[in-house]
Structure 1
Amino acid sequence: MQNVRAIFISDVHLGTRGCQADRLLDFLRHYESEYLYLVGDIVDFWAMKRSIHWSPTQNTVIQKVLRRARKGCQVIFVPGNHDEALREYSGIAFGDIQLINEVEHTTADGRRFLLLHGDEFDQVTRYHKWVAVLGDIAYNTLVWINTYLSRLRRRLGRPGYWSLAGYAKRKVKSAVSFIFDFEDSVIHAVRERGVDGVICGHIHAAAIKDIDGITYVNCGDWVDSCTGIIEHMDGRLELVEWIGHAIPRALPGPEPETDANEEQAAPLPAAASVES
């Protein structure tokens, strides 16, 4: 188990067939932290109104989080739109888990990050909820189809996990520039708050980047990409894709000063970690 300062995860969608609770559980067993932030859509109440798929592994994930909170890890739950029913209880602690609609986190190197789920910057979810619900139904249908495709891939000996729903979402969202509009809206709002960055979820598009001097971090999800953010003890942030082991992608830092006569270092492999 690796000790880190903080873990940030979002969009787990417990209660649905698409939730990859086994990978999340493996991820949590690999990292021990002082803080655990659940950045929205952890439990999918939208989907559970139609049908519930709750596996023993999903139950173990809940038990794992509760156990961490009991042992002193500071667990903070920031509700999203799929678990928005919990927002009216903001400021209340359930057992050892704090429920807060927005929270600020200060990294070990002194940077201030605003944590929110991010659905308030999604115009469809905010103003046309019925469209969002229909999209959610279509998305879950693709997830259901994907379970059969995954079985076929295993029988054919194809390695890895491929998400039909994730592929369709990437194609549709890239066509309408949804992700970029979302990021711009988040950065514009956060800049007015005077913080150094934002950590959110919602759009299932993991990222860690600098946008006009603001650090934008998206946790991704545990349905398609199986990604989370970790903060190391020195404050360095890292985006980790979990496929049974970590594929780290860290926030690039400033270009190091090198002597003009010094030989240029070889580039790191694509999966290597780059310190900020």
Structure 2
Amino acid sequence: MRHVRSIFLSDIHLGTRACKADRLLDFLREHSAEHLFLIGDIVDFWSMSRGIQWSRAQNTVIQKLLRRARHGERVVFIPGNHDETLREYDGVLFGDILVANEYVHELADGRRFLLIHGDEFDQVTRHHRWVAVLGDAAYNLLVRMNGWLSWLRRQLGRPGYWSLAGYAKRKVKKALQFILDFEDSVIRNVRHRGLDGVICGHIHWAAIKQVDGLTYVNCGDWVDSCTAIVEHLDGSLELIDWNGLAAIETAAALAEAALAESERQAA
């Protein structure tokens, strides 16, 4: 088992068919930590209101998180928009798990990071909820289609993991612009607070990048990309891609995002 100082997870979406609970269990078995931060959309109450898809593996995820908290690991749950009903319990301890709407975490090297889900920086989610719900349904459809495509790729002997949802985000200009605008809004807020960086979720787009001298980190998700952030004992941060070969697509996406940003600044 690999020991790290902190683990950061977001957008697990327990209660949905798309949740990759088996993959998450594999990751948790391979990593122990002093701190475990659950940064929103851990349980998907939005989707569960339309129908619950709760597997044995998802139940084991809950049991494993509770067990880790009970055995001394500090577990902090920061609700997102899909589990926003838990925000009214800000500051409350459920067993050994603290619920906090946001949290400031100090890394081992002294840097201070804001931990927040990030939906408050998404103008669609804040002001046009019905559009957000429709977009969520469309995203879930893409993820399900990706499952069929993955099966077809295996039958054809094609190696590696390929994400249809990720491809759409990279190729649809408005989607890419939304990601860039989201990152800018989050970084502005962190700068205003005098912090060194942010670790968030919400947009299902894993990243560690420097933006105007601050560090922007996004955990990604466990319905498509299967990514997590870990803090090592020296305070350094690492993006872990549990799908393995998907890192190639992530690098390509970052290159395209950088190109789009340079074109925007030149315009």
State the 1:173 CA deviation. Answer: 5.6
- Residue 159 of structure 1: how far off its partner (Å): 2.6
Q: Shift of the alpha carbon at 1:83?
A: 0.6
How many angstroms does 1:174 deviate by?
5.3
Between Structure 1 and Structure 2, how many residues are aligned? 248
Q: Residue 46 of structure 2 aligns with which residue?
A: 46
Question: Does the CA-based 8 Å contact 2:197-2:215 persist in structure 1?
Answer: yes
Q: How does 1:102-121 map to 2 (within 5 A)?
A: 102-121=102-121
CA distance in 2, matches of 1:63, 1:160: 31
Q: Which amino acid is the alignment partner of residue 137 of structure 1?
A: A
Counterpart position of 2:204: 204
What's the CA shift for 1:16?
Answer: 1.1
TM-score (norm 1): 0.85
Q: Tell me if structure 2 keeps the 8 A contact 1:23–1:244.
A: no
* Letter paired with 2:200: C
For 1:144, the aligned partner's letter is R
Distance 1:173 1:63, change over 3 A: farther
User: Hey, what's the Cα distance between the residues in 2 that align with 1:5 and 1:77?
Assistant: 17
Q: AA paired with 2:238?
A: E
Deviation at 1:17, TM superposition (A): 1.4
Counterpart of 2:156, as a letter, is L
SS in structure 2 of the partner of residue 62 of structure 1: helix
Q: Is the 8 A contact 1:7 1:36 kept in 2?
A: yes
**Contact 2:160 / 2:245 at 8 angstroms: preserved in 1?**
no
Would the aligned equivalents of 2:43 and 2:83 in 1 still touch at CA under 8 Å?
A: yes
1:6, 1:175 → 2: CA distance?
30
Match of 2:86 in 1: 86
Gaps of at least 5 residues in structure 1 are 248-276
- Counterpart CA distance in 1 for 2:182 and 2:118 is 9
Deviation at 1:176, TM superposition (A): 5.4
The 2-side partners of 1:68 and 1:246 are apart by: 28
The residue aligned with 2:157 is 157
Alignment partner of 1:50: what SS? coil
CA shift, 1:142, in A, is: 2.0
Q: CA RMSD in A?
A: 1.9
In terms of Rg, which structure is larger?
1
Between the aligned residues of both structures, percent identity stands at: 72
Which residue type is aligned with residue 207 of structure 2? A
- Call closer, same or farther: CA 1:190–1:173 in 2, change over 3 Å: farther
Q: 1:168 matched to which residue of 2? A: 168
Secondary structure of the equivalent of 1:217?
A: strand
Instruction: Give the 3 Å change call, closer, same or farther, for CA 64–98 of structure 1 in structure 2.
Output: same
Question: Shift of residue 93 of structure 1?
Answer: 1.0
CA-CA distance at 1:169 after TM superposition: 3.2
In 1, distance between residues paired with 2:245 and 2:231? 17
Would the aligned equivalents of 1:17 and 1:143 in 2 still touch at CA under 8 Å? no
In structure 2, C-alpha distance between the alignment counterparts of 1:131 and 1:211, rounded to whole Å = 29
- When normalised by structure 2's length, the TM-score is 0.88
Bigger shift: 214-223 or 158-167?
Answer: 158-167
Contact 2:163 2:224 in 1 (8 A): yes
Post-superposition shift, 1:244?
6.3
Query: How many angstroms does 1:224 deviate by?
Result: 1.6
Quick check: 103-112 or 154-163, which moved more?
A: 154-163
CA distance in 2, matches of 1:199, 1:181: 16
Structure 2 SS opposite 1:139: helix
TM-fit CA distance, 1:56? 1.0
Q: Residue 65 of structure 1 corresponds to which residue in structure 2?
A: 65
Helix, strand or coil at the partner of 1:53: coil
Work out the CA distance in 2 between the residues paired with 1:145 and 1:153. Answer: 12
1:223-268 CA distance string (max 9 Å, x none)? 1211111001111111111126997xxxxxxxxxxxxxxxxxxxxx
Question: In 2, Cα distance between the equivalents of 1:33 and 1:246?
Answer: 25
Name the CA distance, whole Å, in 1 between partners of 2:176 and 2:105.
Answer: 32
What residue is the counterpart of 2:141 in the other structure? 141
* Paired residue secondary structure (2:7): strand
Moved more, 147-156 or 50-59: 147-156
